[in-house]
Amino acid sequence: MRHLAAIALLCPLLLVAGCGEEISDLNLNRSDAAGAENLIGQAMTDAEFALMRTDLAEQRDSYGRLHEALPPNSLRPALRFDPELLTGPTAGIANAEAQWSNPEKLSRPSDLNDLAFATIGQLGHLIRTRQVSCVELAELSLARLQAHDPQLQCVITLLPDKALAQARELDQLLAEGQYLGPLHGIPYGAKDLLAVPDAPTTWGATPYQNQQLEETATVVALLEERGAVLVAKLTLGALAWGDVWFGGTTRNPWNPEQGSSGSSAGSSAAVSAGLVPFAIGTETLGSIVSPSTRCGVTGLRPTFGRVSRHGAMALSWTMDKIGPIARSVQDCAIVFDSIRGRDLNDPTTVDYPFPYDGHRGLDGLRIGYLSGVFGQEYPGSELDADALEVLRAAGADLVPITLPLEELSADPYDIGFILSAEAGAAFQELTLSGRDDELVRQVRYAWPNTFRSAQFIPAVEYIQANRQRVELMAMMAQVFREVDVYLTPSLVGKSLMITNLTGHPQVVVPAGFQEGQAPHSISFVGKLFDEATVMAVARSYEQAAGWHKKHPPGY
């Protein structure tokens, strides 16, 4: 009978009635249990095993039946992560529209390649004043993607027909006096885990390289409504890990001998090389922050729930986030303003204002920095120290803070297997079918091994880890009672892990170069749903430091 032990707790009369199915077989012995006990750290007596032997067999049979009917990747579980679990509705966010600072004006150059590194604002001015057409910008991005992809390996599918048809329609709208806003006619690329009809959605992985999903991801649909032109689907490390996909390794434009990092590998490389003005990336645990750092571009990982994930590959239902990668903080803000908001197709989404002010200074803001981490020595630590001085010179009153990790019952890294458990469930069919062997990377930290290992994570421990996650959320609520924003080294310390678990927004900004012209970055973390403030602080640093204006040679 299926799980009679559990059923009997709820309705003992069911046992008397003898309903249910007989167990197929009881081929479970003491050594089977002993191996599991060793894995989970729980010792049982022979008598205890004898008592639960039938229960284990029932569970095994239920698992087998579930494996015969595994749902598609797009079906989410009946669980919802709420980043405001402890803090309640976020207060203090003004109900106002975003205000953009005026871009540096450009005139049409004799060679349109001179626009390769222009900002969204600058390109928008040229389009709005009819100095450059939408078709010309689309053709420029398509040509540059074709020219540089052989070296960078950042494109999975080029979309010339779709892009040029849309660009012609947008030019016609302008001729009729209709302007859709700052993204009208701006080309962009999308990480190829976002569904687009009539094009493959490969997830960067061999088993899915011919996959066609006849739906449109909400992010793509919103950008199209605002006039952005999708010119290419860009690479990601297979199933959103690293920079190796089924066609090769995506390269860093600053050093093509080096991978671009991942998993938003193509998005970061294409923006860095001036192939598209912006791209859409995703992050579950560093997949915007890391490649943005490696490629010397700006990235925004929004608050969990700010941007719909409908039509995106699911890796972790409680950690996946979608955000823009661009050449400047304001460019990221413009894109974010177009893709944020409530979507009935994604019940985790919320609708909060985004009162970004491109003219806002640092006055009145409480800005912290993780003094214990900045005080360490690590590659690039001197550049991070310089970033603090740049902010002080720009008028910031920086307050040293710490994340009170001593108040936690568990180390944040000890509950990081929440991601592994959810990813293992999202791709269980791939694992059980054996098609995980088709993935290019077969090393310890690549997904095939992680998915297999995840099958051994007890459900009880997954629940316990999520209970510890609540402590992390309480800790972060305490931190943001003291400051509005804090600075952290992008890839050093525990902030990246913590904030991906708690859902806080992070902006990563270029912050100089390490030896060998290797780009470096600094990161800003903000309150839940308060992207406006954290982006204002990040932009103040960006404008004072100027590193975002540096571009890789040869492009």
> Catalytic amino acids?
191, 263, 287
Tokens of 435: 């098609």
CA distance readout (Å), 125 to 173, 276, 338, 375: 16, 17, 18, 44
CA distance readout (Å), 458 to 164, 413, 461: 51, 17, 5
- 37 phi/psi in degrees, rounded to 5: -60, -40
Task: Kindly tell me the burial class for residue 52, based on how many C-beta atoms sit within 10 Å of its own C-beta (0-12, 13-18, 19 or more).
Answer: middle
Say how many C-beta atoms besides its own lie within 10 A of residue 51's C-beta: 12
Say how many C-beta atoms besides its own lie within 10 A of residue 109's C-beta: 13
Give, to the nearest 10 degrees, the angle between helix 46-67 and helix 30-40: 80
Helix (H) or strand (E) run with residue 325 in it: strand 321-326
Q: What is the DSSP string of 403-440?
A: --GGG-SS-GGGGTHHHHHHHHHHTHHHHHHTGGGGSS
Q: Round to whole Å and give the CA distance between 179 and 127.
A: 10
Q: Round to whole Å and give the CA distance between 204 and 187.
A: 22
Residue type, 101: S
Task: Please report the sign of the dihedral spanned by the C-alpha atoms of residue 87, residue 89, residue 95, residue 96.
Answer: positive
- 553 phi/psi in degrees, rounded to 5: -70, 155
Cβ atoms 322, 280 nearer than 8 A: yes
Where are the alpha helices (H) located in 68-133, listed in sequence order?
120-128
Q: Round to whole Å and give the CA distance between 133 and 227.
A: 13
Residue type, 290: S
Q: Round to whole Å and give the CA distance between 247 and 206.
A: 9
- 367 phi/psi in degrees, rounded to 5: -115, 120
* Angle at CA of residue 549, ends 546 and 552, nearest 5°: 130
